[in-house]
């Protein structure tokens, strides 16, 4: 399973399309983390399921209404994914509230945007954040597809359930 993770396009729909085009094979799914709902809705990415949440800059978009989720849980294969834009959890200051929420929800993978900075890590049981887990939890921020260096994230879940996080850039 190959998942393309995008965030913060900020009116650069063409960068979304370029990120999809740069994938070695067509993604099995796209997760969009907000701040560009109109971009992901209008991008030419037919045939790929898209899961999205609203970001703090999406409130004025015609694609935003009170039913637009700001966070979601998704089950892909046997992996539970918790994703959100991140602004509600103060991710520009600390990751602790976001990580606590993801672990509380039983997430195997936690994904967030908002900071425009690519980030990935694996939280091991009894990790440095002081969050108790009984297994590894993977954490990713794809950066911003709408801001130089136009970054995106990839999550690969292999047949044995192993998770690989990686990043790429459009330019």
Write out the chain's pLDDT in tens, 171 residues: 999 999 999 999 999 999 999 999 999 999 999 999 999 999 999 899 999 999 999 976 666 666 789 999 999 989 999 999 999 999 999 999 999 999 999 999 999 999 999 999 998 887 656 777 888 999 999 999 999 999 999 999 999 999 999 999 998
Residue in the block written with tokens 């969050």: 131
Q: Which domain holds residue 54?
A: 2-169
CATH of the domain at 72: 3.60.21.10
**How many structural domains comprise the chain?**
1
48: exposed, middle or buried (Cβ count in 10 Å: 0-12, 13-18, 19+): middle
Residue in the block written with tokens 């393309």: 4
The token pair at 165 is: 């996080």
Do 108 and 81 touch, CB atoms closer than 8 A? yes
Do 31 and 5 touch, CB atoms closer than 8 A? yes
């Amino acid at each position: 399973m190959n998942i393309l993770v995008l965030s913060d396009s900020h009116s650069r729909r063409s960068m979304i399309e370029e990120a999809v085009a740069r994938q070695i094979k067509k993604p099995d799914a796209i997760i969009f983390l907000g701040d560009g709902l109109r971009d992901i809705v209008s991008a030419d990415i037919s045939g790929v399921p898209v899961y999205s949440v609203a970001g703090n800059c999406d409130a004025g978009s015609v694609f935003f209404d009170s039913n637009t989720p700001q966070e979601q849980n998704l089950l892909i294969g046997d992996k539970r994914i918790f994703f959100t834009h991140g602004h509600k959890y103060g991710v520009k200051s600390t990751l602790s509230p976001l990580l606590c929420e993801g672990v509380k929800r039983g997430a195997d993978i936690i994904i967030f945007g908002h900071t425009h900075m690519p980030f990935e890590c694996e939280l091991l049981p009894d990790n440095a954040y002081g969050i108790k887990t009984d297994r590894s939890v993977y954490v990713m921020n794809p950066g911003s597809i709408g801001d130089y260096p136009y970054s995106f994230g990839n999550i690969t879940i292999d047949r044995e359930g192993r998770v690989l996080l990686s990043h790429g850039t459009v330019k």
